[in-house]
Amino acid sequence: MNSIAHSVAVERDSAEAREAIRHGLNAFNEAKLGPYAFTPVTVCARDEAGALLGGAVGGTFLDWLWLEVLWVSEPERGRGLGTRVLETFEEEGRRLGATRCLLDTMAYQAEGFYLGRGYKEFGRIPNFVQGFDRIYLEKDLR
């Protein structure tokens, strides 16, 4: 066997390496799937003074909309703002060509909120942290 000299080490604060690694995987994926790009999506809910009350962060890739984070400030919870943020986020995803939405949540967070808005569970990691499950959900946006 031929041995190739190499080193493997943790590199801290290496934006260049992170970008090269992501680029390498994206190139491999595009060879199988064709070109695609991640398009960021951010939805913000603000009061009259411009203060942030909540919002959603994620983006589209292939035909998926990925919801990374949805947050609503404590005083605004239970008043419909989260639903409006989610609907706006989904609509922007549709506009960008997404046909499905993917997200995960923790059992103590918003499982019921998403299930009540048409999401279906497709996976769960029991006892992910401190006795709480991590729940994976999806929704058809067509």
- Whether 17 is in a domain gets the answer no
Written as tens digits, the pLDDT of the chain (142 aa) is 667 888 999 999 899 999 999 999 999 999 999 888 899 999 999 999 999 999 999 999 999 999 999 999 999 999 999 999 999 999 999 999 999 999 999 999 999 999 999 999 999 999 999 999 999 999 999 9
Q: Is residue 71 part of a domain?
A: yes
CB count, 10 Å around CB of 69?
A: 10
Q: Is residue 106 part of a domain?
A: yes
In a domain, 18, yes or no: no
Model pTM score = 0.87
Residue 80 in domain: yes
Identify whether 8 is part of a domain.
no
In the chain, how many domains are there?
Answer: 1
What is the Cα–Cα distance from 86 to 114, expressed in whole angstroms?
Answer: 9
Q: Which two tokens stand for residue 75?
A: 């005083």
> Per the domain annotation, does 5 fall within a domain?
no
Quick check: is 7 in a domain? no
**Are 102 and 64 within 8 A, CB to CB?**
yes
CATH number at residue 45: 3.40.630.30
- Domain span at 130: 38-140
